[in-house]
A and B are shown apart, each in its own frame.
Chain A
Amino acid sequence: MPKLIITDRSGKKSEIEYDSNFTLMETLRDNGYDIEASCGGCCACATCHVYIDEKWTNKLKNMDDDEESMLDQAFDVNNNSRLSCQIELSEELDGLEIEIAPE
């Protein structure tokens, strides 16, 4: 199984396996990470905010306008900010490193 490398809010790094049929948000939530995702993943809130490791930012599909606008409701937004519900996992993302943004 392909793997993700996750840094949680306390700074702890861990590896989790993932299934390509799910989004990054669904995978984080299923693995017990504290990610609110209050709208359930339809890009209507900004509570699944993550930072993508710089090595990977170019390998993801670009953000659409919807996601970019929703990020306006997040805080501590950086150039590598994304909403994890909008990231569809695929085999090519094996080894993706992300950090969960502060609440």
Chain B
Amino acid sequence: MTENTDVVIIGAGPVGLFAVFELGLLNIKCNLVDNLDKVGGQCAELYPEKPIYDIPSRPVVTGQELTDELIKQINPFKPKFHLNQQVEKIAKTESGWIVETNIGTKVEAKCIVVAAGAGSFVPRKPPIENIENFENKNVFYAIRDKSIFKNKKILIAGGGDSALDWTNELSKDSNVTLIHRRKEFRAAPDSVSKMQELETKGKIKFLKGQIKKISKIQDSRIMLEYENDDEKSNIEVDYLLPFFGLKMELGPIAEWGLNLHENLIKVDTEKFQTSTPSIFAIGDINWYPGKLKLILSGFHESALMAQEVFKYCFPDKKNIFRYTTSSKELQKKLGV
């Protein structure tokens, strides 16, 4: 199925969210795509509990609070979100663009707004030589189908929520060993106590150390060498599941032919348009002389970008500048 909208925004972080507001005031409808399973970008994924002190009029606000308030603010414009997916391809049409995600969602729009921050969040892969040869065979960074692990021997690496939750869950039907560099865990205390209980009962094993080498052995099994205080040991398993959080990378955007400046998208400072007409870039992902990676700069960029996008969406209409404080029509759109 192909969605039809005015603008597709790539990235649902604070700047992508606020763009919905600025575009919405001009009657421009939006779809947003984000690789995470939630909106808010870095604010929600990396530092939901951390304070931000430089949002105008908010002496202090946490990453999650800022996200929640932005969602409230843009709610009148009913944006459509496509989460858990990454835009892979974009194709020019007569009237605009079709963007397609890695899971096949297609969105047709007149303009594309890239608000992708530092890029997509992807699993952080341990720097073990040749690990890529084992990926999706013996090594998985995310679990889609847990049935393949039934009655198998599994090594889970990491100390966060994913590592502990999967250790507890898979211990029901599999032989699970958890490896972590220390005996303390950053995962939720509930998951940690459950894991410790399973270990006491002998349902799972715990190893202290860091994995250094991976190699293939017979029967499609793998051998992992790990080190703890310079002492080396080995473990043989069917599967390795490393959970070391997420990192950000530019991903497919680099292939779209946009002019870049050191992995950032070059834009002008009047319209925030890229080198390709009708593709815009706002927030941390763009670059121009004097650029500062601040949320407030991204908000400003959203407002100016919207002025230009209006021309693509309504080429025959005149855009008259108005304030939300005084315009009855804008207030009607906001439902106030």
B210 touches A38 (CB 8 A): no
B127 touches A38 (CB 8 A): no
B248 touches A38 (CB 8 A): yes
What is the chain B residue whose CB lies nearest that of A81? B181
- What is the interface of chain A mostly: helix, strand, loop, or mixed? loop
A76 touches B127 (CB 8 A): yes
Contacts of A77 in B (CB 8 A): 181, 210
B158 touches A72 (CB 8 A): yes
Chain A nearest CB, measured from B283 CB (Å)? 13
Q: How far is the CA of A97 from the CA of B42 in the complex (A)?
A: 32
Contacts of A72 in B (CB 8 A): 158-160, 180-182, 185-186, 244
Contacts of A40 in B (CB 8 A): 293
What is the chain A residue whose CB lies nearest that of B212? A76
Given A72-B180, A76-B127; A44-B210 close (CB under 8 Å): no
Q: Per-position contact with B for A62-97: 1 when CB-CB < 8 Å, else 0?
A: 000000111111011100000000000000000000
A interface bracket (residues with beta carbon within 8 Å of B): 10 to 19
Chain B nearest CB, measured from A102 CB (Å)? 6
Q: Per-position contact with A for B210-252: 1 when CB-CB < 8 Å, else 0?
A: 1000000000000000000000000000000000110110000
Given A72-B180, A73-B160, A77-B181; A45-B210 close (CB under 8 Å): no
Q: How far is the CA of A103 from the CA of B127 in the complex (A)?
A: 8
Q: How far is the CA of A69 from the CA of B186 in the complex (A)?
A: 6
Chain B nearest CB, measured from A100 CB (Å)? 14
Q: How far is the CA of A71 from the CA of B184 in the complex (A)?
A: 12
Contacts of B293 in A (CB 8 A): 40
B38 at the interface (CB under 8 A from A): no
Out of A42, A46, A68, A102, name the residue touching B50 (CB < 8 Å).
A42
Given A39-B47, A42-B50; A76-B247 close (CB under 8 Å): no
Residue with the highest number of chain A CB atoms closer than 10 Å, among B160, B181, B293: B181
What is the chain A residue whose CB lies nearest that of B128? A75
What is the chain B residue whose CB lies nearest that of A46? B245
- What is the interface of chain B mostly: helix, strand, loop, or mixed? loop
Contacts of A69 in B (CB 8 A): 159, 184, 186
A47 at the interface (CB under 8 A from B): yes
A68 touches B244 (CB 8 A): no
B186 touches A38 (CB 8 A): no
B184 touches A68 (CB 8 A): yes
B126 touches A75 (CB 8 A): yes
Q: Per-position contact with B for A25-67: 1 when CB-CB < 8 Å, else 0?
A: 0000000000000111010111100000000000000000000
B55 at the interface (CB under 8 A from A): no
Chain B nearest CB, measured from A43 CB (Å)? 8
B127 touches A75 (CB 8 A): yes
Contacts of B118 in A (CB 8 A): 38
Contacts of A46 in B (CB 8 A): 245
B210 touches A75 (CB 8 A): yes
Q: Per-position contact with A for B318-330: 1 when CB-CB < 8 Å, else 0?
A: 0000000000000
B78 at the interface (CB under 8 A from A): no
Contacts of A38 in B (CB 8 A): 42, 46, 118, 247-248
Given A75-B210, A75-B244, A77-B210; A42-B160 close (CB under 8 Å): no
What is the chain A residue whose CB lies nearest that of B126? A75
A73 touches B124 (CB 8 A): yes
What is the chain A residue whose CB lies nearest that of B46? A44
What is the chain A residue whose CB lies nearest that of B52? A42
Contacts of A68 in B (CB 8 A): 182, 184
Q: Which 5 A-B pairs have the closest CB atoms?
A: A69-B186, A73-B245, A44-B47, A44-B46, A72-B159
Given contact pairs A69-B186, A103-B127, a sample of 14 additional A-B residue pairs in the complex whose CB atoms are under 8 Å apart:
A38-B248, A39-B42, A39-B46, A40-B293, A44-B46, A45-B46, A68-B182, A68-B184, A71-B181, A72-B182, A75-B126, A75-B127, A75-B244, A77-B210
10 of the cross-chain contacts (CB-CB < 8 Å) are: A38-B248, A39-B46, A40-B293, A42-B50, A44-B46, A45-B245, A46-B245, A69-B186, A72-B158, A73-B245
